[in-house]
Structure 1
């Protein structure tokens, strides 16, 4: 089960969201061209990924930022960019372009530090934008808890797209990160669950001043928990139905 779109795309062009997607994709493509051997790839991760052991030794603090723009594979990149595209635009619309960029980087650094705190002596590199995007999701949940999100559900031969409130989808996602974080060996899971959970909490906290400035619960009452502009209308497929004789 994963989201494919929300029902409230922003009315203003989300330049920063688009730029972050382009930057992440560009860095990944450059990596494919310039780092084609295992040795070169290991050097890339050593220089730019967040390696807890190096941080514990007082080295490579810049990796808290650079690691946000590295990805371990095409599906890792695609999943992260999908979530950023769905949830980033409305948050950028409310925050403004520059504050949203600062918010994104803050969540990414905070998520990396949350992962570092769980395994400060680990030599395993951590890469990916998911911690920063988790922060975007936490901020989205605070501001727009009832926004409708279309979710694609696939189970063996059954699949369906249906809308659910953001608080259900994001709440389940956050609960899953906590569950996996507590039940997965931090050194062997392959996924930085605590970076996800930490980024989500940091994003919700960092968005709190904006929520209060907008009116807090009065903002929810005024907008019914949705972005304060009309929903997009997604019609049914225009492909005609053909009856069998």
Structure 2
């Protein structure tokens, strides 16, 4: 797996929406009940119960999206003692959950620091150019539509699942798909783990095509045990949705400029020869 760190593709306008999405995702993560303990390595039962109650309320659940089957009992966030020892208390929900709206709220929830930072890195690198090409408002609507396509696409493939779906990955996958369509020849600096991290400057079509290929393989259950806990199918659907939505903009998108003298993604200062 390669780690992108920078692209050689300047923008004409400040990507306010991309910056705002990153800020909101970080803020929501920091204020999510139970996440403070995850940062320090704590795993106290009370924190876990609060986190489970919060996620069950605001995450997207495939069974709820497709069949409108809301659970009769949900975690309350409290800790109780039962026949098998201490655990999280469950009770009838004291709130009304809208499954359609839960797809939107789930886009801003993350399960760990690694989950959050990985998503935000991809959004920061590739989102600014897509926003620059689409404009602020259209880009935000595009981001949300890709997130919904990924959420419902995953739910259709797993309609009986009661596991919560969280994360901005589906929407960001749409951004990656749009970037691939609009700027396939842009150069991307990546770190390739090979004994040490080797910096390489590769074309976007290779970086993003490789990423999409991995997601497609993993979504089929190959390469990982039972596809793990990552919703790879949501990444695939979001990526394809982003490509399709961005395709009409491709003819009017100029190729990215390619500076002649590059030093790890930045233009090197001209050297004087004496």
Fold shared by both chains (TM-score > 0.5) = yes
Q: 1:146 to 1:39 in 2, by over 3 A?
A: same
Q: Report the equivalent of 1:4.
A: 5
Q: How do residues 126-137 of structure 1 correspond to structure 2 at under 5 angstroms?
A: 126-137=165-176
Q: Report the equivalent of 2:14.
A: 13
Q: Does 1:124 align with 2:163?
A: yes
1:53-77 residue CA offsets vs partner (Å, 9 max, x unmatched): 2223325221111110000100000
How many positions carry a matched residue from both structures?
A: 226
Q: How do residues 53-202 of structure 1 correspond to structure 2 at under 5 angstroms?
A: 53-58=63-68, 60-155=99-194, 157-183=195-221, 189-202=228-241
Structure 1 residues without counterparts, runs of 5 or longer:
239-245
Q: Name the SS for the 1:127 alignment partner.
A: coil
Q: Name the SS for the 1:69 alignment partner.
A: coil
Q: 1:233 to 1:42 in 2, by over 3 A?
A: farther
Contact 2:221–2:227 (Cα < 8 Å) also in 1: no
Larger radius of gyration: 2
Q: How do residues 202-213 of structure 1 correspond to structure 2 at under 5 angstroms?
A: 202-212=241-251
Q: 1:158 to 1:49 in 2, by over 3 A?
A: same
Structure 2 residues without counterparts, runs of 5 or longer:
39-45, 71-98, 269-274
TM-score normalised to the size of structure 1?
0.85
Cα RMSD over matched residues? 2.4
Q: 1:97 to 1:106 in 2, by over 3 A?
A: same
Q: Report the equivalent of 1:40.
A: 50
TM-score normalised to the size of structure 2?
0.76
1:110-133 residue CA offsets vs partner (Å, 9 max, x unmatched): 001111011111011111101100
Q: Name the SS for the 2:220 alignment partner.
A: helix
Residue 183 of structure 1, CA deviation: 2.1
Q: Name the SS for the 1:62 alignment partner.
A: helix
Distance 1:106 1:232 in 2: 38
More helix by share: 1
Out of 42, 49, 61, the residue aligned to residue 51 of structure 1 is 61
Q: 1:194 to 1:233 in 2, by over 3 A?
A: farther
More strand by share: 2
